[in-house]
Structure 1
Amino acid sequence: MKFELLQRFDKKRSPEQLRKHFDTEKAIAAKLKTSSREERKVIYSTMYDELLATVPDHPRLTRRKDRVTTETRIRTQLALIERFLADDTIFVEFAPGDCELALHMCSRVKSVYAIDISDQGRESLVDAPKNFKLIIYNGYDLDFEENIADVVFSDQLIEHLHPDDTQLHFQLVYKILKEGGAYVFRTPHKFMGPCDISRYFSDKAEGFHLKEWTFMELAKVIKSVGFRSWFIYWKNNLIYEQPIFYLSIVEMVLKMFPRESRKIATTVFLPGDISMVCIK
């Protein structure tokens, strides 16, 4: 147990609670990593129900009661997507979690669709606005109109995808976006990892973060799908268009650093996490 991380990141849970969380995620993740696509469809439908039932102190459950934390998270997410919104926007969020952002968006845009692999017993949806719709799918087969969305958003999703499924996810997003539409997403940078529950117990991601990415790895996926351009958010939400030369050099150099030094250098020479915009 890395006690310095425990004191820094999670003061509300005991080492025993964290260990139980880690062991549960690690066991489910191990099944996912060795599964076929058909097997993953079944696992996806139950994995979060299993996790939350086994780990009742999971942050996803406890933070539902913390309005300050929820509102802070929504403000951070809005800072990434606000520039792309209009009254007639059709907004889609993948992996919406507690759906608080999606519900907030209902007063800002024309239509809101929240797409997830499980309904996870979201009590907040009982009185959802009429322009909101929750869509549950198996992670692959999405029954959704093509070329309709103005903005697609995901926050802390990409790292949870099986590496074999990441390109498929971007292809799904590409299909539902209008020409000129934007996919805005945020995911931890590989050099800052592990960023899941593993960080207390391991030097590599062994929980639900099946793969943590670098900018250049994601840039290759984005290009292969057909997006015509992409941007990154820097500190203070400044946007830079396809800084390929800078990112490739910095990530190549940082890759050679010792792990802890690499983390520190990443916060200096890179934004810290990966926040990107892909334009169809």
Structure 2
Amino acid sequence: MPITVTEARTPEQLRQHYEVERELADRLRRAAREERRTLYSEVYDELFKRVPLHPQHTNKSSPERLAADVREKMAILAPFLNEDAVFLEVGPGDCELAKTVAEKVARVLAVDVSDEITRKRELPANLRLVISDGSSIPVPPESVNVAYSNQLMEHLHPDDALEQLRHLHTALKSGGVYICITPSRLTGPHDISCYFDREATGFHLKEYTVGDLAALFRAVGFTKVRIIFGGHGKFMLLPTWPVAICEKLLALLPIGLRKAIALKPPFRWLFGVRLAGFKD
């Protein structure tokens, strides 16, 4: 794949990132369940240390880009937030979104496998960083109103992803919602391997479709699952089943044509895998 215009790194720097990430991701793929409990934190800490030009580091130098990203995420979250809410973000990264949400809600819990990125950042008093083993959600049952993850599900071993979904369902209060955003398998790969492979081989241990993920949501007990459709600050909730049918048809197309269709609006708003799961 050609290097995108937004990618500032050289081919050699991309190759170094790819080789490090492949090595560490393969360790996760081969690891037994109990070994993965500590391995997530280890491999991500090692990645950020061995790849100094990783976007998680370089994005810090572009406050305009960060602010625009947070505004886009807040547009999706705003209808679900209120001043009494407890908000939980899984995989908060640099915590910029969590810090913004903290201004709107009573309490924020940021659950991550590593504190390497957030260690030197100042966090508001109502925001607490919680270290997880990669699948557990170490908060009291029925204590969260809104749970959220963005670009997280694909980083988990499939067995751990299902377990984490169960824990998130348990953490939510009755009437709570889990909003999950993850890149579509139909337009992937979306990790560093996009420059080198036809399928994700880096830290995207599994990429999903709307149909894939909606089925997992229902399997762990979410009674209503909807896609979040829209863009430019305007969103609505739609049923998942029509999209799942369209995905099956889209998967029959050659990869180039499939991506050309699925990545353009309004189709990218349908196939982008943005789900809201509601708990009774």
TM-score norm. by structure 2 comes to: 0.93
Equivalent residue for 1:164, pick from 159, 165, 183: 159
Pick from 39, 48, 51 the counterpart of residue 35 of structure 2: 39
Number of the residue aligned with 2:22: 26
Report the Cα offset of residue 8 of structure 1: 2.7
- Call closer, same or farther: CA 1:17–1:104 in 2, change over 3 Å: same
User: 1:104: how far off?
Assistant: 1.4
Are the structure 2 counterparts of residues 62 and 34 from structure 1 closer, same or farther at C-alpha, using a change threshold of 3 Å? Answer: same
Instruction: State the match for 1:188 in structure 2.
Output: 183
Relative to structure 1, the CA distance from residue 182 to residue 70 in structure 2 (aligned partners, 3 Å threshold; closer, same or farther) is same
Q: Which residue of 2 aligns with 1:17?
A: 13
> Equivalents in 1 of 2:114, 2:92: separation in Å?
10
What is the rounded CA distance, in whole Å, between the counterparts of 2:195 and 2:258 in structure 1? 18
Give distance in 2, aligned partners of 1:234 and 1:209: 24
Matched, 1:132 2:131: no
In structure 1, runs of 5+ residues without a counterpart are none
Q: For 1:97, what is the secondary structure of its paired residue?
A: coil
Write out aligned runs for 1:146-161 (5 A): 146-161=141-156
Number of the residue aligned with 1:262: 258
On the 8 A contact 1:231/1:239 being kept in 2, the answer is no
- Residue 225 of structure 2: which of 221, 226, 230 is its match? 230
Counterparts of 1:164 and 1:133 in 2: how far apart (Å)? 27
CA contact (8 A) 1:80 1:184 kept: no
Q: CA deviation at 1:121?
A: 4.4
2:77 paired residue number: 81
Helix, strand or coil at the partner of 2:111: strand
Q: By how many angstroms is 1:270 displaced?
A: 4.8
Give TM-score scaled by structure 1 length.
0.93
Q: Residue by residue, what CA displacement relative to the aligned partner does 1:141-182 show, whole Å, maximum 9, x if unpaired?
A: 443111011100111001111111111111111011010101
Distance 2:92 2:43 in 1: 16
Gap regions ≥5 residues in structure 2:
none
Please say if residues 147 and 178 of structure 1, whose CA atoms lie closer than 8 Å, have aligned partners that are also in contact: yes
Q: Say whether residues 1:8 and 2:5 are aligned partners.
A: yes
- Distance, in Å, in 1 between the alignment partners of 2:33 and 2:80 is 34
Q: Is the 8 Å Cα contact of residues 91 and 150 (structure 1) preserved in structure 2?
A: yes
Q: Deviations over 1:50-75 (max 9, x none)?
A: 11111101110011121111101101
Residue 236 of structure 2 is aligned to residue 239 of structure 1: yes
What SS does the aligned partner of 2:170 have? helix
Would the alpha carbon gap of residues 142 and 154 (structure 1) be closer, same or farther in structure 2, given more than 3 Å must change?
A: closer
- Which contiguous aligned blocks of 4+ residues in structure 1 show a shift greater than 6 angstroms? none
Residues 7 and 225 of structure 1, relative CA distance in 2, 3 Å threshold? closer
Q: Distance in 2 between matches of 1:279 and 1:262?
A: 31
Q: How far apart, CA to CA, are the structure 2 residues paired with 1:24 and 1:222?
A: 32
Query: In 1, are the aligned partners of 2:137 and 2:168 still within 8 Å (CA)?
Result: no
Alpha-carbon contact 2:154-2:206 (below 8 Å) kept: yes
CA RMSD of aligned residues (A): 1.4
1:202 is matched with which residue? 197
- Aligned partner of residue 263 in structure 2, secondary structure: helix
Give the Å deviation of 1:19: 0.3
Alignment check: 8 A CA contact 2:84 2:106 kept: yes
Residue 211 (structure 2) aligns with = 216
Q: How does 1:107-122 map to 2 (within 5 A)?
A: 107-122=103-118
Q: Percent identity?
A: 35
Residues 1:90 and 1:201: Cα distance change in structure 2 (over 3 Å): same
Q: Relative to 1, partners in 2 of residues 1:89 and 1:22: Cα closer, same or farther, differing over 3 Å?
A: same
